[in-house]
Amino acid sequence: MIVMKFGGTSVESAEALDRASGVVKSRLDQKPIVVVSAMGKTTDRLVEMARAAAAGDLSAALAELQEIAEHHHREGLASATANRRAGLEAFLDGTFARIEKRLRDLPVGDLSPADNDVLLSYGERLSSAVVAEAFFRNGLPVVCFDSRTVIKTDANHGAAQLLPDETAAALTAHVAPLLDDSVVVMGGFIASTLDDITTTFGRGGSDYSASVIGALLGADEVQIWTDVDGVMTADPSLVADAHRLKVMSFGEASELAYFGARVLHPATMAPALEKNIPIRVANSRRPDNEGTLIVAEAPHTALVKSIAYKEGITIVDVRSTRMLMAHGFLARLFNVFERFETAVDMVTTSEVSVSLTVDRTDRLDEIIAELEGVADVERRDNNAIVCVVGDGIRNTPGVSAKIFTALDGILIEMISVGASRMNVSLVVDENDLEEVVRRLHQAFFSQIDKEVFA
């Protein structure tokens, strides 16, 4: 059995749905479970719709909803067989009527996390129904299954935590028996509490859903189908000659995902890693391409596998003579960030100063106000983290020297070697980002190992 997850661009249109149908049909002998994201940019539109409604701008919210509805009717009905089109249209009409009612009933200024989860869940609930109809039209034996009936979580809306035992029991009882005769289509990202209250895993949660299902049902492989050929040595939009990785380790993939690589969500690897289930990243537009296989330990290594980056980074410099030979200062410092629920990406320290980076600044003013009671604090916006990742880094001296040589003339604000010893991260001005990535790619990938890269 395999789990095949199709991203938003892979199910965004009738044409894309036909491609996805062909990909699944070619793998019927592997008993696929198909997990789908919302169609195209639907989730982004739902977010804007919910925000507008909560702000009291109902007309803007309804206009956004109308665009979502038109897209699903146009592409969905074009993907259904003639004799099932009326049934799909009735489902779409009824669903959008329920969304509109929720918007009209939403209290102004009071978009609760629970209400937000319900509104955002409609993206996957709609797409799974549309995808199932497209599969049926293309001759696949398909069952559309509501993920919320089997994926169980706590009530932490917007970032729900999986209840693995309850979910495993439900999947085994209700989904596994269907696989001998049918392709099961399920929406990613969505789940429910034990009381059947809708929850979501948060953005990127569809990849995580696929990994969870694969891990709990013992899949042979979890496949992430997207619109790129696999994991690349750098963002192809910045580096035209980026190479595809044939194989990489879970550790490398996790580092890349955390530091901005857009192909995988950081949470995706954990469930599959725990059960040692390979993950394959492949291109639904080019299904004959083998993509990138992610395994516990890659059979072939290289000094560097890929370069990732994360924009919108703010540096916070904290200086205090109280730090000199004082214990507990760092604990108090990070306690402030914890209380304001703001994660820190990178940290460097000296005797009297700490520099750290954050990518969320919505509560940074409050954090700085509190820190200024015990230290001098400086905030520096518009930076980027660039991360050089590879298992080979841990056993190779001189990697930092190679980086500094490649970036001669560019100011590096911070540099850190990760505890895993498989990444070197640096912070640069956002204006230098493209040049930094291109220079590093030239330094590490001017010659490639054909066993590792394509």
Per-residue pLDDT at 403: 94
326 pLDDT tier (thresholds 50, 70, 90): low
Rounded to the nearest integer, the mean pLDDT of the chain is 92
DSSP 213-247: HHHHHT-SEEEEEESSSS-BSS-TTT-TT--BBSE
Q: Is 397 or 64 the better-scoring residue by pLDDT?
A: 64
Residue 196 backbone dihedrals phi, psi, to 5 degrees: 65, 30
Per-residue pLDDT at 380: 96
Lowest mean pLDDT among 47-56, 158-167, 300-309, 354-363: 300-309
- Report the range out of 152-161, 246-255, 324-333 with the highest average pLDDT: 152-161
Per-residue pLDDT at 204: 77
Q: Which residues contact 288 (CB under 8 A, 6 or more apart)?
A: none
Q: Please list the residues that pair with 293 across neighbouring strands.
A: 247, 280
Q: Please give the average per-residue pLDDT across 363-387, as a whole number.
A: 93
Q: What is the pLDDT of residues 206-225, one digit of tens each?
A: 999 999 999 999 999 999 99
Q: Which residues contact 109 (CB under 8 A, 6 or more apart)?
A: 54, 55, 56
Closest among 38, 206, 50 to 114, alpha carbons compared = 50
Per-residue pLDDT at 419: 62
- Does 448 have pLDDT greater than 80? yes
Q: Please give the average per-residue pLDDT across 181-190, as a whole number.
A: 97
Lowest mean pLDDT among 19-28, 191-200, 241-250: 241-250
Share of the chain above pLDDT 90, in %: 76
CA distance 187 to 452: 33
CA distance 440 to 316: 26
Per-residue pLDDT at 420: 65
Q: Which residues contact 391 (CB under 8 A, 6 or more apart)?
A: 249, 251, 252, 298, 301, 302, 305, 422
Share of the chain above pLDDT 70, in %: 97
CA distance 387 to 308: 5
Residue 164: CB atoms within 10 Å = 15
- Does 156 have pLDDT greater than 80? yes
Judging by beta carbons within 10 Å of its beta carbon (0-12, 13-18, 19+), is residue 104 exposed, middle or buried? exposed
322 pLDDT tier (thresholds 50, 70, 90): low
- Does 325 have pLDDT greater than 60? no
333 pLDDT tier (thresholds 50, 70, 90): confident
Query: Are the C-beta atoms of residues 206 and 186 closer than 8 Å to each other?
Result: no
Q: Which residues contact 272 (CB under 8 A, 6 or more apart)?
A: 211, 214, 215, 222, 250, 278, 279
Query: Are the C-beta atoms of residues 171 and 148 closer than 8 Å to each other?
Result: no
pTM: 0.87
Written as six digits, the tokens of 128 are 């799974």
CA dihedral (234, 240, 246, 248) in degrees, to 10, reads: 0
Give the β-pairing of 292-295 and 247-249: parallel
Closest among 251, 6, 309 to 128, alpha carbons compared = 6
184 pLDDT tier (thresholds 50, 70, 90): very high
CA distance 298 to 308: 19
At 302 the three-state DSSP class reads: coil
Half-sphere exposure of 168 (CA within 13 A, CB side): 9
Q: What is the pLDDT of residues 397-443, one digit of tens each?
A: 888 899 999 999 999 999 988 666 788 999 999 999 999 999 999 99
Per-residue pLDDT at 172: 98
Query: Are the C-beta atoms of residues 433 and 309 closer than 8 Å to each other?
Result: yes
Per-residue pLDDT at 261: 65
Lowest mean pLDDT among 64-73, 211-220, 261-270, 385-394: 261-270
Closest among 453, 407, 446, 444 to 423, alpha carbons compared = 444
Q: Please give the average per-residue pLDDT across 151-168, as a whole number.
A: 96
Q: Which residues contact 446 (CB under 8 A, 6 or more apart)?
A: none
Residue with tokens 């108090």: 332
